[in-house]
Amino acid sequence: MNASPGVCRIMNDQLHLGTADWTVGHTIEHMLHRNLSCLMIVDSRQRLIGLVTESSLLAAALDPMQRGESVSLFMQRKMVTIPDTASWDDAIEMFLLHRVRQIPVLRNGVPVGMLCRRQLLQQLANPHSPMANVAAQPQSSVVDD
Q: Which of 101, 89, 104 is nearest to 139 (CA)?
A: 89
Instruction: Provide the pLDDT for residue 2.
Output: 47
Q: Cα–Cα distance between 7 and 86 in angstroms, integer?
A: 6
Q: Which of 111, 128, 119 is nearest to 92 (CA)?
A: 119
Instruction: Provide the pLDDT for residue 122.
Output: 84
Instruction: Provide the pLDDT for residue 132.
Output: 62
Residue 39, φ and ψ in degrees, nearest 5: -135, 130
Whether residue 3 is predicted with pLDDT greater than 50 in this model: the reply is yes
Write out pLDDT tens, residues 41-78: 999 999 999 999 998 899 888 888 899 999 999 999 99
Q: Cα–Cα distance between 26 and 12 in angstroms, integer?
A: 23
Residues 5, 88: contact at Cβ < 8 Å?
A: yes
